[in-house]
Amino acid sequence: MGYKQLAIILQGFNGSNYIYKLSFSKELADQYISADFNTFYVADSQATLLPENISFSLSEEELNYLISLGENACIEINNKKIASSFGMTNDNTLYITDKCNSNCIMCPMAEPARRDGHTVPFEIQDELIRYMPCRMEHLTITGGEPFIIKEKIFDILKQLKDGNKAQSYLLLSNGRVFSSHEYCRKFAEVVPEDFLVGIPLHAHVAEVHDTISQAKGSFLQTTAGIKNLLATKMVSVEIRIVVSKLNAEYLPSLAKYICKNFPNIDSVKIMGMEMLGNALVNSDKVWIPYEEAFENMRPAIDILVENAIDVAIYNFPLCFVDRPYWNICAHSITEHKIKYADACSTCKEKNACGGMFTGTDRYLANSVKPIL
Ligand code: SF4
């Protein structure tokens, strides 16, 4: 992952600030300026940066994109490009860091980024949160591993909670940090309401999980973390299973393990790989044809459903999934990463299908089976 990649470059932008409040009303723009916000005021295809008082024209594409974010959105601009935005949509992402204390063998980020990558400076994080509108529909907090920034993550969560920034949250974490009771206690003190933590669990066998995470002892930490988080009763937990050649055969046993040990989890997401970064480098170890992956997923899904645990399938095109399971296939791939094969143009279910990841398409494109 990285900054939310948006294909919008504001060609005429020549402002000197990097975070702005977006406004389509002069009256509201004046209020934002009084409240000490740099403001990006849009009227008649013209942008005016205030209080800098710099104006430039917007193309139709730029204008439509800004309109889609809505009044009061926060936009972060980096070299004319909208690097991140926070508005009244459900796809807002607060990116914390590239770094992670695991190094999953099928991670779409490459190992050097995990080790030495960028962490968003704290003063920028604080400004982004201050500029975010209140009560956004949803905010995802992600990395890397967000807890790699240690105590600062508690401060970020507290700012989000005190500012009533979103109506629901998803935090993606490898969960290892929650094996510490002290961290769990601090987290429970500051966590906003309606908060879901998504944690990957690769297998029910410690050795297999640790081989995939490439972090010795991570199975024990992650499973203790899930248990501790559930015990706080302050958040919901979803378990994420990324299916690879290394764990496919264990899926039914993992499903039984989850039913037995974590019956109170919110849901399980069974996910196809994004073949970039580590996943691409290790493709001979991790790649599994999707038909074969689904054969292993099906009994696991049945076990979870029979035990009243919600399941969803992420990142699998419909033609690799048996029809009775289509209703749990989510449109899970971020819009700018979705690919369809040429053959998909004849498929009558293309609108219902979530497509495949750019990167994974080179493995799947020749085996799609258009539904006619
Ligand atoms: S043929 Fe293409 S559009 Fe149709 S289900 Fe398969 S991947 Fe999706």
In a domain, 122, yes or no: yes
In a domain, 265, yes or no: yes
In a domain, 202, yes or no: yes
pLDDT score of 114 more than 60: yes
Q: What is the mean pLDDT of residues 62-78?
A: 92
Three state DSSP letters for the chain: CCCCCCCCECCCCCCCCCEEEEECCHHHHHHHHHCCCCEEEEECCEEEEECCCEEEECCHHHHHHHHHHCCCCEEEEECCEEEEEECCCCCEEEECECCCCCCCCCCCCCHHHHHHCCECCHHHHHHHHHHCCCCECCEEEECCCHHHHCCHHHHHHHHHHHCCCECCEEEECCCHHHHCHHHHHHHHHHCCCCEEEEEECCCCCHHHHHHHHCCCCHHHHHHHHHHHHHHHCCCEEEEEEECCCCCHHHHHHHHHHHHHHCCCCCEEEEECCCCCHHHHHCHHHHCCCHHHHHHHHHHHHHHHHHCCCEEEEECCCHHHCCHHHHHHECCCCCHHHEECCHHHHHCCCCCCCCCEECCCHHHHHHHCCCCC
* Ligand 1 centroid from CA 368, angstroms: 6
Give CA angle at 7 (89, 128), nearest 5°: 50
In a domain, 13, yes or no: no
- Looking at 28, 58, 86, the residue that finishes a domain is 86
Is 190 in the same domain as 307? yes
pLDDT score of 193 more than 50: yes
pLDDT of residue 81: 87
Is 157 in the same domain as 218? yes
pLDDT of residue 7: 60
In a domain, 346, yes or no: yes
Q: What is the pLDDT of residues 241-272, one digit of tens each?
A: 999 999 999 999 999 999 999 999 999 999 99
Range of 124's domain? Answer: 92-314
Is 171 in the same domain as 100? yes
Residue from 368, 369, 372 whose mutation best tests the ligand 1 pocket (most atoms within 8 A of CB): 368
Residue from 340, 356, 362, 367 whose mutation best tests the ligand 1 pocket (most atoms within 8 A of CB): 340
pLDDT score of 93 more than 80: yes
Separation of alpha carbons 22 and 10, rounded Å: 14
Residue 191 CB neighbour total at 10 angstroms: 21
Is 343 in the same domain as 243? no
Is 50 in the same domain as 109? no
- The two structure tokens encoding residue 315: 């990142």
Separation of alpha carbons 94 and 141, rounded Å: 5
- Looking at 58, 86, 114, the residue that finishes a domain is 86
In a domain, 3, yes or no: no
* Ligand 1 centroid from CA 272, angstroms: 15
Question: Where does ligand 1 bind, in terms of residues with CB under 6 Å?
Answer: 317-319, 340-341, 344, 347, 349-350, 353, 368, 370-371
In a domain, 253, yes or no: yes
Q: What is the pLDDT of residues 207-249, one digit of tens each?
A: 999 999 999 999 999 999 999 999 999 999 999 999 999 999 9
Residue 146 CB neighbour total at 10 angstroms: 23
Determine the angle formed by the axes of helices 152-162 and 181-190, rounding to 10 degrees. Answer: 20
Separation of alpha carbons 276 and 290, rounded Å: 16
Is 115 in the same domain as 182? yes
Is 333 in the same domain as 240? no
Is 298 in the same domain as 359? no
- How do strand 310-314 and strand 54-57 relate by DSSP bridges? unpaired
Q: What's 183's domain CATH number?
A: 3.20.20.70
Give CA angle at 141 (185, 31), nearest 5°: 105
Please report which confidence band the pLDDT of residue 347 belongs to, taking 50, 70 and 90 as the band edges.
very high
Is 104 in the same domain as 212? yes
Ligand 1, atom 6, lies closest to the CA of: 319
Ligand 1, atom 3, lies closest to the CA of: 350
Residue 53 CB neighbour total at 10 angstroms: 7
In a domain, 216, yes or no: yes
- Whole-structure pTM over 0.85, yes or no? yes
pLDDT of residue 113: 84
- The two structure tokens encoding residue 261: 């040990």
Is 201 in the same domain as 309? yes
Return the ligand 1 atom nearest residue 341 CA.
Answer: 2
Torsions phi, psi of 304, nearest 5? -65, -45
The total domain count for the chain is 3
Is 33 in the same domain as 122? no
Is 299 in the same domain as 355? no
pLDDT of residue 2: 34
* Ligand 1 centroid from CA 273, angstroms: 17
* Ligand 1 centroid from CA 351, angstroms: 9
